[in-house]
Amino acid sequence: MTATPLSPESNAILDRLRLLREADAPTHGGRVLSYVYDSGLAELDELAAQAIRIMQPVNGLDPTTFPSVATMEREVVGFARRMLHGDDAVVGSVTSGGTESCLLAVKTARDLWRAEGGVGVPRIVAPVTVHAAFHKAAHYFGLELDLVPVGPDGSVAADDLIGRLSADVALVVVSAPAYPHASLDPIEEIAAAASVAGIPCHVDACIGGWALPWWGGVPRWDFAVEGVTSISADLHKYGYAPKGASVLLHRGLDRHRAQYFATTRWPGYPVVNPTMMGSKSAGSLAAAWAIIERLEEESFAELTASMRRATETLREVVDGIEGLRVVGSPVGPLFAVETDVAAAAARQVDPHHWADAVRQRGWLLQQQPGIVQPNGVRLSKTTHLTITPVTESVLEELGAALRAGADEVRGVPAVAAHDALASLPAGVLAAAGAGGMDSQTAASVLQGLGLGGAGGALPDRMAPVLSLMEALPPEVTERLLIELLARLVEPSA
């Protein structure tokens, strides 16, 4: 393929795009410890770009017209199956991302539950730490999400979950590991009990799926565990692919087929869709496929070994910081940090202040608000760090920023909930309680809080915003966040 030279007009468009990109967080170099997964191998990015370019005109909708799509998907699924100890009975699909894999796991389970005679509203049973994609799936597909409380370390007691299994449960979901604290759920115990009860068990390995196979010392969690019926694993996380790719594998051909939607009852072409989209890009599949082909098991193992070293070092750094501690016993290249309440009050570090202070130093950590579980027990607010292969090359600088940030805010009290609430314009809570806010009201609340300014710039210090989130009823926060995001893309008058 030879590149067609671009006209000055087209070049100007690309110049504007490059300019727009300058406002973005850096996607390479390890300064953003969430969202992006930098392998540190520049060649992989170029390989992916060229693969996308080659596949650009193809419609991934129809692998009979475009057999290249089927070949790549078969090879990706085959690699994933080997990596996750699946036998010939394990089959699956490449989806557009983790959320789509999780949505489809739930849709599949719901349809099978109904086919087996289930009536009414089925339940999904999962620990509180299960990814929000399952909240979304329950909402989209009409299931009830039955959340099992976890301990302060983010771990669930297997018996608490197993005690909730009954005939109206369409799916049990466990995580390898769960995103918030990297807790590895007791998968063997839960999958065995689910199997005895005849209930399918999904392992959400969206984040761990392409790292845990090479991590070492991880209890069995994949298709080697008998009761595990499906697994999601994101290619666009530790598969190092550009966004838009994940795999969903099922144990059993019939289970996989229940994921599909087909109809011939309209006057157009017969529709047979394994995933939620119709016409779709084949570019992200091609990029993910090319990267797997290039890395093979050996390079995945090396990249994972680097992440393991970096994760261990960073955990030691955090454990060495007075006033902070790592939450629970994380498994994989991610962990969460909370206030060390064993330290004297004046020596404690608030994780939200800490993340703000570290951000001032050029490193983006992810702030996770504390929440109240269904049993009323609070889970503490935390800071999330996702480690990637490139992290090892910036460890010293990052470690120094983590320590200096903590030194800056040690002893600074957390923003008090009542202070946060007092900053709310009068009547907001009443308005929200009385059946929701309209977009005008929501926008004026955001403005009153100094949020939602032009261009969507967020304040330098997010700790007050996080405290507000923790203090407000979730439906109010959710409505405000929707407004904030929706306003970002509204054309100006």
Ligand X SMILES: *Cc1c(COP(=O)(O)O)cnc(C)c1O
44-50 LR contacts (CB < 8 Å, sep 24+) = 44/240, 44/291, 44/294, 44/295, 47/287, 47/290, 47/291, 47/294, 48/241, 48/242, 48/287, 48/290, 48/291, 49/287, 50/290
Return left, alpha or beta for 23; rule: phi > 0 is left, psi -120 to 50 is alpha, else beta: alpha
**Looking at beta carbons only, is 206 or 420 nearer to ligand X?**
206
**By CB under 6 A, residue 133 contacts ligand X:** yes
Q: Rg of the Cα trace of the chain?
A: 23
Measured between alpha carbons, how far is 160 from 173 in angstroms, rounded to an integer?
Answer: 14
| Shortest distance, position 15 Cβ to ligand X, whole Å | 31
| Shortest distance, position 203 Cβ to ligand X, whole Å | 10
The residue written with tokens 């540190």 in the block is 40
| Shortest distance, position 469 Cβ to ligand X, whole Å | 20
| Shortest distance, position 464 Cβ to ligand X, whole Å | 27
| Torsion sign over Cα 354, 357, 363, 365 | positive
What is the pattern of x (binds ligand X, CB under 6 A) and - over residues 286-305? --------------------
**Looking at beta carbons only, is 386 or 467 nearer to ligand X?**
386
**Looking at beta carbons only, is 126 or 324 nearer to ligand X?**
126
* Binding window for ligand X (CB under 6 A); candidates: 87-95, 202-210, 258-266, 390-398: 202-210
Please check whether residue 30 is in contact with residue 389, taking contact to mean a CB–CB distance below 8 angstroms: no
* Member of 73, 188, 204, 483 binding ligand X (CB under 6 A): 204
Measured between alpha carbons, how far is 430 from 433 in angstroms, rounded to an integer?
Answer: 5
* Binding window for ligand X (CB under 6 A); candidates: 68-76, 118-126, 200-208, 268-276: 200-208
- In 10 A of CB 461, how many CB atoms? 16
**Looking at beta carbons only, is 130 or 295 nearer to ligand X?**
130
Please check whether residue 171 is in contact with residue 124, taking contact to mean a CB–CB distance below 8 angstroms: yes
Return left, alpha or beta for 428; rule: phi > 0 is left, psi -120 to 50 is alpha, else beta: alpha
Backbone angles phi, psi at 60, to 5 degrees: -70, -5
Number of residues that bind ligand X (CB under 6 A): 13
| Shortest distance, position 35 Cβ to ligand X, whole Å | 9
Which residue intervals of 410-455 are DSSP H helices? 417-422, 428-433, 439-448
**Looking at beta carbons only, is 102 or 406 nearer to ligand X?**
102
| Shortest distance, position 180 Cβ to ligand X, whole Å | 9
| Shortest distance, position 481 Cβ to ligand X, whole Å | 16
Query: What part of residues 207-226 is at the interface with ligand X (CB under 6 A)?
Result: 207
| Shortest distance, position 135 Cβ to ligand X, whole Å | 11
Q: What is the largest CA-CA distance in the chain?
A: 72
* Binding window for ligand X (CB under 6 A); candidates: 74-82, 199-207, 257-265, 441-449: 199-207
| Shortest distance, position 125 Cβ to ligand X, whole Å | 16
Roughly what angle, to the nearest 10 degrees, separates helices 132-141 and 98-115? Answer: 40
**Looking at beta carbons only, is 35 or 374 nearer to ligand X?**
35
| Shortest distance, position 468 Cβ to ligand X, whole Å | 25
**Looking at beta carbons only, is 175 or 339 nearer to ligand X?**
175
* Member of 147, 206, 282, 442 binding ligand X (CB under 6 A): 206
Measured between alpha carbons, how far is 104 from 258 in angstroms, rounded to an integer?
Answer: 9
C-alpha angle 482/487/489, rounded to 5°?
A: 110
* Member of 38, 111, 234, 356 binding ligand X (CB under 6 A): 234
**Looking at beta carbons only, is 158 or 207 nearer to ligand X?**
207
Query: What part of residues 161-180 is at the interface with ligand X (CB under 6 A)?
Result: 175, 179
First to last CA, the chain: 43
DSSP string of 329-350, one letter each residue: ---SSEEEEEE-TTS-GGG---
Residue nearest to ligand X (CB): 98
**Looking at beta carbons only, is 102 or 480 nearer to ligand X?**
102
* Member of 31, 110, 131, 353 binding ligand X (CB under 6 A): 131
Query: What part of residues 65-104 is at the interface with ligand X (CB under 6 A)?
Result: 97-99, 102
| Shortest distance, position 115 Cβ to ligand X, whole Å | 26
Burial 178-204 (b: 16+ CB within 10 A, else e): bbbbbbbbbbbbbbbbbbeeebbbbbb
Task: Give the list of residues 6+ apart from residue 220 with CB closer than 8 angstroms, or none.
Answer: 187, 188
Which residues make up the interface to ligand X (CB under 6 A)? 97-99, 102, 131, 133, 175, 179, 204, 206-207, 234, 246
